[in-house]
Structure 1
Amino acid sequence: MKRLLLSCLLLAMSGPIWADAGLLERLVGGFSRDGLWKNVQARCLTPPAPTHPDCVVVDRQQGFVLYKDAIGASHYLVIPDQPVTGVDDARIWGDAAQPNQWAFGWDVRGAVARAVGKPLPDTLPGLAINSKASRSQDQLHIHLDCISEAARDFLSGGSGPIDTRWRDLRFRGRSVRAILIPATQPTLAVNPFDVVRQGQDAPATANMADRGVFMAYVRQPGGVSGFVVVDDPVDKAVGSTGHASDFLDRGCKLARALPADGDRQIGGQQIGEREAAPTR
């Protein structure tokens, strides 16, 4: 029964039903807002060394876990090994000494390629975190997966040019802002949280919880290559919930459409059906 309900929820992900962060708990039942953190603690952070297949990477030195999400064969979560609620935690916006969650997630993006069984260009993986208003779990988790077709069109300038100044654009009918951080090599040397914070009109961080953030790498033929950072703020007046993981595709269609590699090796964990809710 639970699997059937989850299937119905996944079919609804692109519609208005998915905009209500609390609806998932009300429909499925039994999934507490600290369930993700409890699972990570029990499976990945409790001595001895983790053996659960969901603990793809456990790096206590950097302080992060790459955790396999319940839904989507190539969908992973970057999670701190300490309690951090999410974008509403002031530490991620104001403490330069905090480790860079995004850089860790970008460095382990090879998990996505292993999950789909073929090499992927650096322009296909993306990272996203949802706003407080649109998440279902109160432990910071950055989503890692392939970008969606809509995101590909957005990054290629379909909604307007993206350059080294903040631009007001639209994605799937909602207002977002985007900026390009030049980088000739796909090495992430900035923290997208800092990029978004520094791009605000006011230095205060009181409203920073009301936004999602997305990041991906672009190579522009004849132009500047680098990392695009998208600020996806909540705007209740127009129905924007800051659900930045809309830039990602749990089905990884763009990657699966690539020619198959001759030596098909899957180094990641292949995940089948689970009786758990997709993490938002």
Structure 2
Amino acid sequence: MRIFLPLLALLFATAAPACAANPDALWQIASAQCLPNSINAGDPKPCALVDRERGFVILKDIVGAAQYLLIPTIRLAGIESRELLKDDAPNYWRYAWEQRGRVGAALGRPLEPSQLGLEVNSAAARSQLQLHIHIDCMRRDVPDLLRAHRRDPLGKWMPFMIEGHRYWVMRLEADALQSKDPFKLAALRSAHAANAMGAQSLLLTGARFDDGAEGFYLINMPVNFDRAEFGSAEVLLDHGCAIAR
């Protein structure tokens, strides 16, 4: 059965907790369309890319000016999937960061690393039952807010407040994604986080520090239902990409 992307875009682009009409829509696109089309016809459509060797597809999300999604080609429900914490797990974050240039290409202008973000929602703040990493523009104000952490110790989780909401932030070196996986770093923040990965959301964005060195900020927003926080660091992204204007 053919799946129409304009309709599906409405199902999986939202950051609010919801029950999608078809929570398997992303998995069906990746596994039943993009992957077989790539194998049988050499054409990844409706995806922009199928990487069979490393096991992921890149799909342009119709909602948003330049939003892309990385979707694994194996069945993984989301951030809570224990397979992501195995020693030999693929580093989907590294693969997604390699694809960040697609956002600028869609906008017709290159973006600085600090203007770009990757994000995964918690189980409570997603509508799809297939892991996907959002690749999009950062909210315009967030890079300046993060500069308060430009001297944080590398590799250490520090508290971070935005608009009264509590996050955790970790400063990472430029080559961090070669040896570090953000899923595993989140699990190391605390025993609770490790045992409740489904209650975490993560965002990774580029950074430039005081000494001119480049690197990353990794942000963790846990679920806190008492404060109506559903674990959606996606609120720090801007699908309209105002930061590019």
Q: Give the secondary structure class of the aligned counterpart of 1:249.
A: coil
Higher relative contact order (CA 8 A, sep 6+): 1
Q: Does 1:139 align with 2:130?
A: yes
- Which residue number in structure 1 is paired with residue 31 of structure 2? 41
Q: Which amino acid in structure 1 is aligned with residue 147 of structure 2?
A: S
More helix as a share of residues: 2
Q: Please report the TM-score for the alignment, with normalisation by the length of structure 2.
A: 0.85
What is the rounded CA distance, in whole Å, between the counterparts of 1:95 and 1:48 in structure 2?
A: 32
Partner letter of residue 166 of structure 2?
S
Give secondary structure in 2 for the equivalent of 1:48.
helix
CA 252–50 in structure 1, closer or farther in 2 if over 3 Å, else same: farther
- After superposition, give the CA deviation of every residue in 1:227-252 in whole Å (9 maximum; x if it has no partner): 11111100011111111111211111
Q: Which residue of 2 aligns with 1:231?
A: 220
Structure 1 match to 2:3: none
Verify the 8 A CA contact 2:16 2:126 in the aligned structure 1.
no
Q: Could you tell me how far apart the structure 2 residues matched to 1:50 and 1:148 are?
A: 36
Displacement after TM superposition at 1:161 (Å): 6.5
The one of 76, 80, 85 equivalent to 1:88 is 80
- 2:142 is matched with 151
Stretches of structure 1 that go unaligned for 5 or more consecutive residues are 26-30, 258-280
Distance 1:49 1:84 in 2: 26
Return 5+ residue gaps in structure 2 as ranges: 1-5
Question: 1:186-201 residue pairs with structure 2 within 5 A?
Answer: 188-200=178-190
Please give the alpha-carbon distance, in whole angstroms, between the structure 2 residues aligned to 1:50 and 1:234.
41
Deviation at 1:114, TM superposition (A): 0.6
1:106 paired residue number: 97
Q: CA RMSD in A?
A: 2.5
Give the match for residue 248 of structure 1.
237
Q: 1:161 to 1:21 in 2, by over 3 A?
A: farther
Once residues 151 and 225 of structure 2 are traced to their aligned partners in structure 1, the CA distance between those partners, rounded to angstroms, is 26
Distance 1:49 1:206 in 2: 43
SS in 1 for 2:69: strand
SS in 2 for 1:51: coil
Letter in 2 for 1:254: I
1:117 Cα deviation from its structure 2 partner: 0.6
Cα displacement (A) at 1:138? 0.3
Matched, 1:213 2:202: yes
Aligned equivalents of 2:28 and 2:206: distance in 1? 32
8 A contact 2:50–2:57 mirrored in 1: yes
Equivalent pairs counted in the alignment come to 233
- In structure 2, what is the equivalent of residue 73 of structure 1? 65
Equivalent positions of 1:2-17 (< 5 A) are: none
**2:18 pairs with 1:21:** yes
Check the 8 A contact 1:155/1:162 in 2, yes or no. no
Q: 1:232 to 1:205 in 2, by over 3 A?
A: same
Q: Deviations over 1:92-135 (max 9, x none)?
A: 1x202011000000011111111001122222211000000000
The equivalent of 1:115 in structure 2 is 106
CA shift for structure 1 position 188:
5.0
Task: Give the superposition deviation at 1:187.
Answer: 6.3
Q: For 1:149 and 1:139, how far apart are their aligned partners in 2? A: 29
TM-fit CA distance, 1:186: 8.6
Bigger drift between 170-179 and 96-105 goes to 170-179
Q: Give a deviation string over 1:16-73, Cα, whole Å, max 9, x none.
A: xx64323xx4xxxxx3111111122232111314535441111010011111113013
- TM-score (normalizing by structure 1): 0.75
CA 1:73 to 1:52, structure 2 compared with 1: closer, same or farther past 3 Å?
Answer: farther
